[in-house]
Structure 1
C-alpha cells in the first residue's frame, strides 16, 4: 500500500496519542484500521464506533469476516486485506473524495485554540484528553475513553482515566476554568472545559 502512496510510512498502533491528535486537527480525517486477526482484537465493533468519533473509519479485515457489525458500529467501509494494493488504494482515494463534501468532523473555533494556549499542557496524556473533550459535539463516556486510550488488547483502566481527568481538572481550575462532568448509572461523561473569565 505504501507503494501506492496511500498509507503513512509508519503505521501507528491503537492508542497512539500522536495519531489521535493528527486526526483531531484535520477537518475531514480518514482513519484506516488494519485488523490482521479479528480474534486478537476484543470489542472490535465498539472500537470502530469510538474511533468513528474522531474520523471516518475504513476497516481492513481478513477474508470471510462478517462486515455487518463493523458497518453498524460506524465504519465508512470494510474491505478485505487481500484486496490487490492498486484496487485498495483506489477505494481509499474514493473515500477521501467523498469526505470532501461532508461538513467538518470536529468542533473547532478560536476559543478552543485560546483554551489550549491558556492551559499550556505539557503532558501528551492531558493534551489528548483536552482535545477530545473540546473537539467533540457530544459528551465522552468514560468507557469509550478507556477503550480509545488503551492498547489493541485491553482498554485503559478506569482508575487511570480518572487520575488523568483529575489532573486535567486541577490544571483547568488553576487557570480559572472547570471540567464539566456528569455521573449516571455507573458511567462518567466528560463534557467540556468551561472558561469562567
Structure 2
C-alpha cells in the first residue's frame, strides 16, 4: 500500500535469492513428481519451499532487506508452488480436479476484479496478510502428507487423513485471505482515485 516501507531497491538480496531458488524449485518438483515419480524427493523440494517461504520474509525484516521486488516474488512463488502441486497431483490422480479449480478460482477472482484497478493507481501488490501466509503454510505442508499417504498401510492412511484435514483448512483460509485482500484493494481504490495515481506508489 502507499507508504509501504522498503529498505532497498537491490535485486540480489538474500531474501530475493531465496525467492528465486523457490521459483526454480517449481519445475524441479514437477519433474520429480511426474517424470521420475520420485515422491520422497518431491516432498523434500516441497519442504524446502515451505521452509524458505518463512525464512525469506524473516530475513527481509530482520536484515532490513525488504524490497519492492521481494514483495512481488514472495506471493508469486507461493501461488506457483500451490498451482504446480495441485496440477501435478491431479495428473497423478492424487487429488480431484475440482480442488484445482476451487483454489485457482480464488486467484482468478482477485486478478480479474481488484488487481486491474490497483495497477492503474500505481500499485504492484498489497501487503502480505498473516492469514494468507497461514493458508499457504497449511497447504504447502498438507500436500506432502497427502502424497506420502497415497498407500494402504496404516501410517499412510493416518498421513492421508491429517493431510486432507490440512487441505480443507488451508483451502478455507486461502479463500478467506483472498476476500480480505479484495477488501483491502477496495479500500485502496476508494482512498486513491485515479487523479492521484502519481502519488500512490507502493
Q: Give the TM-score band, short-chain normalised.
A: under 0.3
- What's the TM-score, normalizing by structure 1? 0.27
Decide which structure has greater helix share.
Answer: 2
- What's the TM-score, normalizing by structure 2? 0.26
Which of 1 and 2 has higher RCO (CA within 8 Å, sep 6+)? 2
